Each structure stands twice: as C-alpha cells, then as structure tokens.
Chains A and B, each alone.
Chain A
Amino acid sequence: MTLFRWKYLIILALLLFWVMVPFDWFLSDYTGLAIMIGIYTIVTVGLCLLMGYTGQVSLGQAAFFGIGGYTSAILSKDHGIDPWVAMLIGAVITGLIASMIAYPIFRLRGNYLALATLIVGVVVWDFAKFMDQYTGGPDGMAGIPYLSIAGFEFDSPFRRYFLIWGFCLLILIISQNIINSRTGRALRAIHGSETAAESLGINVDQFKVKIFVLSAVYAAIAGSLFAHHLSFISPGTFNILASVKIVVMAVIGGLASIWGAIFGAGITKVLSDEILLNFGEWDVVAYGFMLIIIMIYMPEGVFPTLKSAFERDGFLFFPKWWLSIGKNWFDKLRKGYDYVRFRHQRKEVRP
C-alpha cells in the first residue's frame, strides 16, 4: 500500500519537474531538447502500438515522419495555407499513402515485412533528396511558418513546449484508450497468434492495416510539429538511421509500453543530442550496441524491466540488483558455483 502511494508521489514530482523545465529560473537551456523528446515520443508511441502490441515490424517509420513534415512545410510555406490546415492535410495524405502501402505490404510477414518497410523508408528518403523543385533537395527547406491560434503565435520555444507536450499527452491518452479497448485486445491477440485471432472472428489484415495507418498518422503529426517547431526540415531527419533510432527509442521504452515511450525518447535524445554528439561516428556504434544488449537481456525494454523491479523491491531495487549480480559473480569465482551444481545434477541422474 505504501508502495502504491509512493508511485503516485513520484509521478506527481516528475510531472511538476516536467512542467517547470522551460522556465527561465529552471532548465530553460534544455527547452529545445525537451520539445524534441515530445516530438519523438509521438512517433515512438505509434511504433509501440505497431511493434509491441501487434507484433509487426516497421523499419521505415521515419519515412512517414518525413512525408508529414514535408507536406505540411510545402503547403504552409509555398502555398500560404494555414499551418494547422497544412498539418491536417499532411496527416491525411500520410494516412492515405500508408494505407495504400499497407494493403499489399501486410501480405508479407516477419523478415520480409522488415525488409519491405526498410525499402519504403529508403525510397521516400531518396525522393525527398532528389525532388529539389519541391523539397529543396539535400539542403532541406527553411522559413516554415510557426503555428498560431487566433493571432497567438507559437514563436518562442517556451510557447511551443506547452503546445507540443499538449499534443504528446493527448496522443498518449488516445493510445492508452485504444490499448484498453476491444481493438487493443484484438491487437494483442494478433500478436499472440494470428491463426487463433482469426478463428475468434478478428479481421487480422484489417486490424494490421488500421494500426499501421494510425502509427503513420502519428509519425506525420510529429513530422509537422517538427517542421513548424524548427521552421526547417531536411532529408537528414528521416534517413535509415533515423528509423533505426526510432526503433531504439521504442525498444528502450519497452515495445509494449505506451508511457515508456517518453522514457525511451528521452534517453535516446539526451544521448544523441547531448552526450554522443562529442564522439563523432561512435554514436551509430552506441545505437547498435544498445539494440543488441537490450534485446538480449531486457527483451521487454529497459523501462518495463526497471518498473517491475521497482514494484517488486521498492526504492532499493537498484542497489539490490547490482549487489545480487556482484554476489553471484563473486560466488562463481570463489567456489566454482556452476561446477558444484553440475556435479549434484549428475549424482541424481546416476544413483
């Protein structure tokens, strides 16, 4: 029971901390970083719905980010359309493209699906690079207008912080509701066994396409927010590595955990924008390494593993965990722990 109350206290403290971030007397230097975390959380939530809950791989999620961002940017900058409408059109176009891609692609499974989504990502990136009369080519396009509501323009990072985190929260809540609804249960059934789901009367293909389109629309919204936030977008923001980074975020936050997405996006963005920036090419190595290690030792993701450890052991879980690791290791060194156990087993086999 005490644990229960602690949990809420921690959530409240984190929320308070997060609201205070953009103020001048607090961490206003990191407002830009926090906004980026919000934008990438939106993409990651979409990928979590697709990969964690439905069990379908997508390695081209950044492509939809790019389509949404570019549509919004081109419409609002070159055609003078209101940014909100441009954002909506971007989301709709991305949804249409995603559904057109999804119907044939979801005839594939597993590894083939992974390759197909990878190809989609590469092709969209290629087109953004070479259609220079619309997209500005590899240099990207600048001067995209900011969002505004009835004359109130979101022209400072402080204002955009609350706008984007408002969006992020809205999308997290929508996703949470989807997961806890009939649709969410159907998705989890598909993850468990497609045959079983089909025999229970779930239209497997339709659900897969729907959730793929939903995740694409999330990515498009994030892309539009990105474009209107930085007022700049370039093909570099959605290449193959960007797609892999989104997978890294989803994996760290836990593939089947909606709220872990904030955690995953946060860790990855802090790593890539603040820490790994100083190491040049080595950041790619770090992403690969994190993917491997997390998939081997924490297949549910870092956030859910820590969460379950916290719920089991309370605040002491971290020292306890490390102590237990140290103790096992020490025991092994001291008395050949494995060897003893092995001999014991053999004794039982041959009495």
Chain B
Amino acid sequence: MTSEQFVQYMIDGITTGSIYALIALGFSIICTVTNIINFAQGHLTMLGGMISYMVIRSMDVPTFPTVIIAVLTASAIGIVLYMMLKRPAKFAVSLVLLAITLGAIPLTVILFKEIASAEMPVVAAAVIPILLVAIVGAVVYLNAIRRARKPTTVSLIIMTIGVAIFLEGMAGAVWGVDAVRPPGWTGKSSIEFLGGYIHPQALWMVGATLVITILVYLFFSYTMIGKSLKACAISPVAAGMVGIDARKMALIAFVLAGIIGGIGGAVMAPKTLMSYHDGFWLGIHGFFAAALVGFTRPIGAVVTGFGLGIYVSLMVGLDWGPFQGEYKMSVSMITFLLILVIWSSRLRDEERPS
C-alpha cells in the first residue's frame, strides 16, 4: 500500500467511523440511563437520512431546514420508543404520535405540491398509510387496557428487533428499495489532502460528530439534567430518593438518542447514500463500538467508533488474506464476534440485571 492509499483509507475510515461513533453514542446514552439496548438505533439513523432526502426532493427547500426536520422526526420516534418500552400503557398515545410525526411530513409535502400542481394520486398515497396507522392505533388503544407485565431482557430484545424491522419495512414501503442520495450540503469538488481526497460532506460528518460529542460531554458534566441522568445510571433508587424522576430521565435519554441518530443520518446520506436496509449494518457496527466499552461510557464509545471505522477501512484496504473479495464483510463480522467472545468475562461484569 502506498502512502497515498494509506491516507485515503484513513480518511475513509475516519469518515465512516464518525457515523459509527454517533450510533454508539446513541446506544450508550440509552443503555446508561435505562439498561435497554435499543436494537433500532441504526434504523433511527437510516430514517434520518431517508427523511432528509424526501424533504429535500419533494419540497425544494434549502438543506439546513431539512436537517432540522429529520432531527425532529428521529427524536419524536425516540419518544415513541421510550413510551413503548418504558410505559406500555401509554402505547396508544405513542402510536398516535408516530402517526402524526410520520404523517405530518407527507402532509406538508402535499400542501406544497397542491399549491404547485394538484396531484391526486400523491395525496391518496400519503393519506392512506396515515389513516391505516391511525386505525391500528385505535385498535391498540382498545387492547391497551390489558396491562403489559414487567418486561424481561428477552422480551425487550424481541421488542426492539420488532421496532427495527418495523422501521425498515416502513422505509422500504414508503421510499422504495433503491438507495437515495440527497444533494451535498456544501460544494461538489473534493479537497486534496496529503495525496488523498476528502469529500466535502466528510468534513461535515466528522465535524458534526466532534461537536455532538463535546456537547454531550458538557451536557453530562455541567448541567443539572445531565448530572441527573448520570445519577440514574448509577442507581435509579438513590436517584429517586433525591427527587429525580427516573421515567423523565429515560424519556430524555431516548429523545437524545433519537436526535443524535437523526443528525447522523442526515449528515451521512449525501456522502454514503442511504437505502432502507442500511440501518441494520449501521446498528451492528454501533452496537459493537458501544459494547467494547461496556455500553456505559458515551465518550469512550465515540473513540471506539472512530477506531472501528479506521480498522474496517484499513483491513479492506490491505486487501490481504481473508480480507479481500466478497467475504470482507463476513470477515470483519467474525472479527467482531471473536473480540466479543474474548472480552466476554469483562462484558459479563458490565451487564446489570434489568
């Protein structure tokens, strides 16, 4: 490998690593506060990218408002997830919320389109899913009288996997199975750096990750809410005794993870493309990055996220031994598995009863 290639692979690794870092951050924030591993975290990121694409394409709005919309939607889904997992009795409310959030965007789009040119099929295509979800929400409301029991780890895993599959299917049905690419935020030409080329969007990705990490660090260290979140992580009972509402903190954690996921998706889509099944790969990498530091250290998860991106990129770049051809994804997956198994004694200590 020449030095130019090395620089190029490092740049690629850092760029993808920044996304893994953001997802790992989301994983560990939720797990720190609530002890839940949210298997749908990667799918929240995917949704962020998809929504930003849809809004840009159909509304012809400038890029930055779309980022805000994508972030808002992803955080709304975070709230829904929280309600579902932590307060099942309020699930009906959360479903209606989901319907509203998912429905509000097409409705806005339709309003814009109606003004431009009346297109009835579009209206029908957008309204029918909303109605369906609303009806399903009503049915669930009728059933919501039957209370859910205390969830176990197995049922939480199955539930979050269900959410992931649900979001994936939704994305596939709403936005189609082809990968989408929203326009880049700034500039089109790559920047030359030490013989390698940097996509302008890559700067946004790394920059966003660094800024978010610093903000999260400041939030956890210097604000009252952040400190309360930390207290909940250490001991929910003791936190409750000094007047911290653990359920509210869990809500904040889910919203925070949703926001981070949404930003990640919106920022990465212009460079890497986004398709409906990307959430799964992103989720596995983020999970692994967060698992390496035991799910309870958000800042450590960011570091391992970057490290993971660089590792995968260099291994692919080396093109050596098993790391070549079609199997490279499998080989990196098996490496993850081996590392997890080797570290298992340490992981076991980190895992607390939920």
Contact with A along B22-52 (1 / 0, CB 8 A): 0000000000000001010000000000000
Would you mind naming 25 contact pairs between A and B with Cβ atoms under 8 Å apart?
A: A107-B345, A112-B340, A115-B288, A116-B337, A119-B284, A122-B333, A123-B333, A126-B330, A241-B165, A281-B169, A281-B173, A284-B168, A284-B169, A284-B172, A287-B166, A288-B162, A288-B165, A289-B162, A289-B166, A293-B140, A296-B84, A296-B91, A296-B159, A297-B143, A297-B144
Cross-chain contact A292 with B341 (CB below 8 angstroms): no
Q: 0/1 per residue, B160-191, Cβ < 8 Å to A?
A: 01111111111011000100000000000000
The smallest C-beta distance from B319 to any residue of chain A, in angstroms, reads 16
Nearest CB of chain B from residue A290's CB, rounded to whole Å: 7
The answer to whether the Cβ of B148 comes within 8 Å of any Cβ in the partner chain is yes
A-side interface residues, number (CB < 8 Å): 52
Instruction: Give the residue of B88, B287, B334 whose beta carbon is less than 8 angstroms from that of A296.
Output: B88
Interface stretch of the complex, out of B57-65, B150-158, B204-212:
B150-158
Q: In the complex, what residue of chain B is closest to A105 when comparing beta carbons?
A: B341
C-alpha spacing A150/B347, complex, angstroms: 54
Contacts of A325 in B (CB 8 A): 142-143, 145-146
How many inter-chain residue pairs (CB < 8 Å) link A and B?
A: 152
CB pair B340 A108 closer than 8 Å: yes
Bound Cα distance from A289 to B333, whole angstroms = 28
Are A120 and B159 also in contact (CB < 8 A) when A297-B146, A299-B149 are? no
Q: Which of A55, A126, A284 has the most CB of B within 10 A?
A: A284
Among all A-B residue pairs, the 9 with the closest Cβ atoms: A288-B166, A291-B162, A284-B169, A285-B169, A288-B165, A281-B173, A107-B344, A130-B326, A111-B37
Across the interface, which residues of B come within 8 angstroms of A286, CB to CB? 169
Known A112-B347, A281-B173, A284-B165; 11 more pairs at CB < 8 Å: A107-B345, A108-B341, A118-B284, A119-B336, A123-B334, A251-B158, A281-B177, A285-B169, A291-B159, A291-B162, A296-B84
Using Cβ atoms and an 8 Å threshold, which residues of chain A touch B248? none
User: Do B162 and A126 touch across chains, with their CB atoms under 8 A apart?
Assistant: no
- Given A282-B173, A296-B88, CB of A288 within 8 Å of CB of B151: no
B351 within 8 A of A: yes
**CB of A57 closer than 8 Å to a CB of B:** yes
List which B257-294 residues lie within 8 A (CB) of chain A.
Answer: 280, 284, 287-288, 291
Residues of A contacting B91 with CB < 8 Å? 296
Bound complex: CA of A297 vs CA of B145, how far in Å? Answer: 9
- Picked from A55, A108, A123, A329, the residue with its CB within 8 Å of the CB of B344 is A108
User: Are B163 and A297 in touch, CB under 8 angstroms?
Assistant: no
- Most chain B CB within a 10 A radius of its CB, from A293, A325, A326, A329: A293
Within the assembled complex, what's the spacing in Å between the Cα atoms of A290 and B140? 11
Rounded to whole angstroms, the CA-CA distance of A284 and B169 in the bound complex is 5
Q: How far is the CA of A57 from the CA of B327 in the complex (A)?
A: 26
- The residues in A between 129 and 187 inclusive whose CB is less than 8 angstroms from any CB of B are 129-130
The chain B residue with its CB closest to the CB of A321 is B146
* B145 partner residues in chain A, CB cutoff 8 A: 325, 328-329
Closest Cβ of chain B to A103, distance in Å, is 10
Query: Which of A120, A285, A296, A326 contacts B166 (CB under 8 A)?
Result: A285
Which residues from B are CB-within-8-Å of A114? 39, 157, 161
